[in-house]
Structures are given as structure tokens and as C-alpha cells.
């Protein structure tokens, strides 16, 4: 089995779509009518798979983002990504280094969801593995 994507409820679809496309996502498709509302499928560059599904129902706006702690997006060059995002009107907090070679920066989407941008140290796999934890 594999986790495929996250369905994230949004209040204003066009505002959220503008934010996530500025982040680099591309719209791959839509499912207009479901019991949850409309579904807009997004993928980051060079990823052939949907990573984020924007769920929109005007009758059910986002009233709390507490259930989702944060989303994580990996980038190869954090400084360039933060600079590019700022040029697109998406401000990010200054990058920090919470671990040796690991760099992160944070931003917030229009509904208040926190997004962590991550640049792995050189030679690190594209995602977290058991090796990232004690005893792994």
C-alpha cells in the first residue's frame, strides 16, 4: 500500500488554486460533483501523481485548521524556492537549519494551513525513511 494524496478542504477554491499554483502545483483534473463538494487535483512539477486534492463546498467553509498540523513539500534549493515564491506574492518565513544539513522554511496558505518547505542534506533520499530515526 501507499499513501496517495491529501484531500484538503478550502473555503475559496480560486484563491486556494492561485496560492497552490504559485507554490508550483499544476491542476491535473477536476471532479465537479461529489458528496464532499468539488475536487481539484494538483501535482507538483516533475511529479506525475496527484499529491493534493482541494475539496471545495461553498456550504462548508473551513472553520478550523487544527486537525491538520502541516503539509510538507520537498525542494532541491530552498533559498531559490523562497525567492521564487516571494516574487509570486507568496511570503515564506526565513529558512532555518533544524538539523545537520536539513533546511526548512514555513508558509501559510489562504485558509491558515501551515506548509513546511524542506531541503534534505546532500545524499539524503527523496523522503523520510527509518534511517532518519534512532535505531532506524
As for how many domains the chain has, the answer is 2
Per-residue pLDDT, averaged over 100-110, amounts to: 95
How would residue 127 be classed by pLDDT, with cut points 50, 70 and 90?
Answer: confident
What is the pLDDT, as a whole number, of residue 136?
57
Same domain assignment for residues 19 and 74:
no
Query: Do 47 and 96 reside in the same domain of the chain?
Result: no
Q: Are 36 and 83 in a shared domain?
A: no
CATH number at residue 47: 3.10.180.10
Residue 72 shares a structural domain with residue 106:
yes
The verdict on 135 and 75 lying in the same domain is: yes
pTM of the model: 0.90
Q: pLDDT of 68-82, one tens digit each?
A: 999 999 999 999 999
Q: What's the rounded Cα separation, in Å, for the pair 110 and 8? A: 12
**pLDDT tens digits, one per residue of 50-59:** 999 999 999 9
Question: Where in 57-133 does DSSP place strands (E)?
Answer: 71-74, 96-99, 102-108, 114-119
Residue 114, pLDDT > 80, answer: yes
Amino acid at each position: 500500500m501507499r499513501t496517495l494524496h491529501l484531500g484538503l478542504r478550502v473555503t475559496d477554491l480560486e484563491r486556494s488554486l492561485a496560492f497552490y499554483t504559485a507554490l508550483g502545483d499544476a491542476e491535473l483534473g477536476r471532479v465537479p460533483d461529489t458528496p464532499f463538494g468539488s475536487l481539484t487535483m494538483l501535482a507538483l512539477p516533475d511529479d506525475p501523481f496527484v499529491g493534493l486534492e482541494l475539496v471545495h463546498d461553498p456550504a462548508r467553509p473551513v472553520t478550523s485548521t487544527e486537525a491538520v498540523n502541516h503539509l510538507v513539500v520537498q525542494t532541491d534549493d530552498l533559498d531559490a524556492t523562497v525567492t521564487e515564491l516571494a516574487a509570486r506574492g507568496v511570503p515564506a518565513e526565513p529558512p532555518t537549519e533544524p538539523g545537520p544539513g536539513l533546511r526548512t522554511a514555513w508558509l501559510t496558505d489562504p485558509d491558515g494551513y501551515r506548509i513546511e518547505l524542506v531541503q534534505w542534506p546532500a545524499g539524503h533520499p527523496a523522503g523520510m525513511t527509518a534511517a532518519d530515526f534512532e535505531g532506524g
